[in-house]
Structure 1
């Protein structure tokens, strides 16, 4: 196995534009293929991945190519702060400290000051540069990261290679900070019906939120992405934003999220075209630990990035380019509960849906989109700490009726992160996110005020204080 060399870090003060950096990468001339990690074709790359993780874990904490540095790009561990870690790891000024200041805790979009529409391109950049670092460290120019295709029923249990503690080849991929069933080889969605591990996000017709629809980016972030995190790891692992990137399965997960975005684009989904999105930049370490400034426009499609996938997800032909965005407040409201209400982490909670006072609805702003359906909107989820489970959302036509399940939600990024983790961001409200659930079938035949409720799917953390900021029932 190769050893980390300090020679490459001697130029770490250099800041390289991405276009210039990419021009010097020989491997980019012939697309490399990221493969489903359960396939025989991916076996070699999965072994190389384990070797690279082991090498990175042995690196100095200050090394931009090391495991801790890469973890901290996503978020600094939850029991420490960015400023404190910068001082501890870099007691004196250095190019590496400057790079850490620019790149650590810049994940989009799980905390105040971040932008939801940056979620997909930021993570594409993150995975891309880690892959380049690994390719360089192990001396394998054809290496490509595999992905975890958990939307397939046969692949919902974590592969055995990630569950072999102490194994000389695969031990670097093991983490104890996973849910017990995960490391036991149980399907992570076991007993949850309907499963949140689906491809429903491919049905979104716009990238950004519009009316009662969250758009592809927020839909896949809040639903499939967040559910996999919570179902895989605990509060010091995949189930918590500050700890998630310490688990090697994180990268297999985000390879798949990236593949889903590429699939949606191939099915006709349109990315934003405004200059604010296209020209926004983020900083990452390159394969040699140098600083690279990457612009979203360079990462909006796979074509120029030197990699592809062995398969893409089929889906409906979607996409309405430059679709007008309109606010949830403009929709026709059937119900609005505008105040936060607490969620019991250990048992169900129910709310009677009543017609709101007229002053809660502006008659001038009522919109009923074509083919609109009643949708239950849950906004502003908050948690004092990760509850560790998903929550089922149900509707009852009356107090004695059988609950009808509308869907499943999670509190993955509802825990407020420490503000000093994001010094380069403008502080403010958290990213605008909401869960949107089709309530049309459940509301058929309702004659009284219906009831909605939430219940935990499993044993939740009893110390987690949970709330939902607002509940709406809209035509959208």
Structure 2
């Protein structure tokens, strides 16, 4: 069954301008569309698709910003550089129009940064990428187009040190085709072909988020979605962009690499599902909806329940390859845990909980042990004896800032005093990304906080074997890149837990 554009336009009019397709229509559209494949940008197929993308971006950049198919209109759907009302006035003036009404509904709806709804991070961005893909098809005239992804992490990330180099097509400012993909607002070295995860501005990118067995917080685990939002999502943003580029929410979607990055984030989510990870099915989650523009510039209302499986979409797609969960992943079959056992946590000498202020220099704190008789066996051995094979987590809660921080922090467990913090040290646990934390929003600053967790069972075992876990644990936070000294980044609390 083929549903023509004229029919869809009629349906749009009946729906008051927003295309809300009933289930029967969704199934009919899915039946009329073959499943498309998204390819890695490094593959021959991905290169062909990248050329289509570059041409379309160039055409979108030439469209007036009042046009829903323009680059600025799509960028502002993620977030606006200034207050939303200010940007609406700049673009539309005081004149009311259907496109202005679309902008009022669509602009700055990115989750979780708009409302702090962390569970919505993955479905909102899947919708965003999906509709941009449709726009590129219509702008370019190539209905076979699929957005390529930047494969910067995982087993296929080879050769070592090269897959984290920004693809060369994004580094050619004066090229007649690729110039549309260039942006100057990137960290030093990025546009010169330096690996984005290299020091002093870059941090390692991992798939440790896939170790989480639950989408949401469970026991000591902050959950797959929150941990993915942190690394590699936020870490990559911090690695690539400065304060007028990928490094801040307001400007991130102006960089064309944003879309290839988020295509890969979507692939990681699809890979976690394919490995056995389950998405939430409760109505408050599945019923959430947002408005986007389709390829004809018409508003479309998309609901979370419609995008939880890429193979059942109206325009279904798959990836040319999927990722496996890394070693040390917590089994999906492990029972759901509501409570965690705390074995050490951050404290003031008075015994009260204390927020940890991070600065432009490494900050080291001690965790107060909750274990008994650790002096004889050593903390590490006592910890394993107490947990009896449970998974160990380092949990960081209430991460916040008063302004955009602009950089990441490396986290280290029991780093010796005479050792310089580097990701190659066995004490390295992972990275805290402050991307979007403390971002300015309408009427003040974003006040929500972020929780993340790291599975540290293997790290604790290695440090115990190396005699680095004999004493009560310490945590070192080492800044990566240039710190915004006025942002006042804070970690509310740190705890070593098991569940």
What TM-score do the two structures reach when normalised by structure 1? 0.85
Partner in structure 2 of residue 309 of structure 1: 319
- Residue 356 (structure 1) shift: 7.4
Partner in structure 2 of residue 460 of structure 1: 483
Instruction: Output one character per residue of 1:364-399: Cα deviation in whole Å (capped at 9) or x when no partner.
Output: xxxx98733443222222234444433221233775
Contact 1:336 1:355 in 2 (8 A): no
Q: What is the RMSD of the two structures over their aligned residues, measured on CA atoms?
A: 3.1
Q: Which residue, 291, 302, 323 being the options, matches 2:299?
A: 291
Q: What is the count of residue pairs matched by the alignment?
A: 448
Partner in structure 2 of residue 93 of structure 1: 96
> Which has the higher mean CA deviation after the structures are superposed, 18-27 or 223-232?
18-27
Partner in structure 2 of residue 81 of structure 1: 83
> How does 1:195-210 map onto structure 2 within 5 Å?
196-210=204-218
In the alignment, the residues of structure 2 paired with residue 441 and residue 323 of structure 1 have an alpha-carbon distance, to the nearest angstrom, of: 23
Q: For 1:440, what is the secondary structure of its paired residue? A: helix
Inter-CA distance 447–200: structure 2 relative to 1 (3 Å threshold) = closer
Inter-CA distance 392–235: structure 2 relative to 1 (3 Å threshold) = same
Partner in structure 1 of residue 171 of structure 2: 163
Partner in structure 2 of residue 349 of structure 1: 363
Q: Which residue, 211, 218, 222 being the options, matches 2:219?
A: 211
Partner in structure 2 of residue 441 of structure 1: 461
Q: Which residue, 319, 326, 338 being the options, matches 2:338?
A: 326
Contact 2:391 2:455 in 1 (8 A): no
> Which has the higher mean CA deviation after the structures are superposed, 114-123 or 188-197?
188-197
In the alignment, the residues of structure 2 paired with residue 74 and residue 82 of structure 1 have an alpha-carbon distance, to the nearest angstrom, of: 11
Instruction: Output one character per residue of 1:49-100: Cα deviation in whole Å (capped at 9) or x when no partner.
Output: 00111111111111111111111111111xx101111233222222212211
Partner in structure 2 of residue 251 of structure 1: 259
In the alignment, the residues of structure 2 paired with residue 370 and residue 144 of structure 1 have an alpha-carbon distance, to the nearest angstrom, of: 48
Contact 1:206 1:323 in 2 (8 A): no
Q: For 1:197, what is the secondary structure of its paired residue? A: coil
Partner in structure 2 of residue 132 of structure 1: 134
Instruction: Please tell me whether residue 222 in structure 1 is matched to residue 230 in structure 2.
Output: yes
Q: For 1:242, what is the secondary structure of its paired residue? A: helix
Instruction: Please tell me whether residue 17 in structure 1 is matched to residue 17 in structure 2.
Output: no
Inter-CA distance 174–271: structure 2 relative to 1 (3 Å threshold) = same
In the alignment, the residues of structure 2 paired with residue 271 and residue 401 of structure 1 have an alpha-carbon distance, to the nearest angstrom, of: 42
Inter-CA distance 464–177: structure 2 relative to 1 (3 Å threshold) = same
Partner in structure 2 of residue 430 of structure 1: 448
Partner in structure 2 of residue 150 of structure 1: 152
What TM-score do the two structures reach when normalised by structure 2? 0.81
In the alignment, the residues of structure 2 paired with residue 249 and residue 453 of structure 1 have an alpha-carbon distance, to the nearest angstrom, of: 32
Contact 1:268 1:318 in 2 (8 A): no
In the alignment, the residues of structure 1 paired with residue 461 and residue 46 of structure 2 have an alpha-carbon distance, to the nearest angstrom, of: 42
Instruction: Please tell me whether residue 411 in structure 1 is matched to residue 434 in structure 2.
Output: yes
Inter-CA distance 389–418: structure 2 relative to 1 (3 Å threshold) = closer
Instruction: Output one character per residue of 1:286-345: Cα deviation in whole Å (capped at 9) or x when no partner.
Output: 111111111111100011222211111123797748964626xx5334224433221112
- Residue 166 (structure 1) shift: 1.8
In the alignment, the residues of structure 2 paired with residue 447 and residue 318 of structure 1 have an alpha-carbon distance, to the nearest angstrom, of: 26
Inter-CA distance 401–71: structure 2 relative to 1 (3 Å threshold) = closer
Q: For 1:308, what is the secondary structure of its paired residue? A: strand
Inter-CA distance 332–341: structure 2 relative to 1 (3 Å threshold) = closer
**What runs of 5+ residues in structure 2 fail to find an aligned partner?**
1-8, 348-352, 372-385, 422-426
Q: Which residue, 265, 268, 272 being the options, matches 1:264?
A: 272
- Residue 461 (structure 1) shift: 3.9
Contact 2:393 2:453 in 1 (8 A): no
> Which has the higher mean CA deviation after the structures are superposed, 434-443 or 41-50?
434-443
> How does 1:34-113 map onto structure 2 within 5 Å?
34-77=38-81, 80-90=82-92, 91-111=94-114, 113=115
Contact 1:22 1:28 in 2 (8 A): no
In the alignment, the residues of structure 1 paired with residue 260 and residue 136 of structure 2 have an alpha-carbon distance, to the nearest angstrom, of: 14
In the alignment, the residues of structure 2 paired with residue 193 and residue 14 of structure 1 have an alpha-carbon distance, to the nearest angstrom, of: 45
- Residue 195 (structure 1) shift: 6.0
Partner in structure 1 of residue 117 of structure 2: 115
Partner in structure 2 of residue 340 of structure 1: 355
In the alignment, the residues of structure 2 paired with residue 413 and residue 342 of structure 1 have an alpha-carbon distance, to the nearest angstrom, of: 18
Partner in structure 1 of residue 495 of structure 2: 472
**What runs of 5+ residues in structure 1 fail to find an aligned partner?**
1-7, 358-367, 422-426
> Which has the higher mean CA deviation after the structures are superposed, 441-450 or 347-356?
441-450
In the alignment, the residues of structure 1 paired with residue 190 and residue 280 of structure 2 have an alpha-carbon distance, to the nearest angstrom, of: 36
Q: For 2:110, what is the secondary structure of its paired residue? A: coil
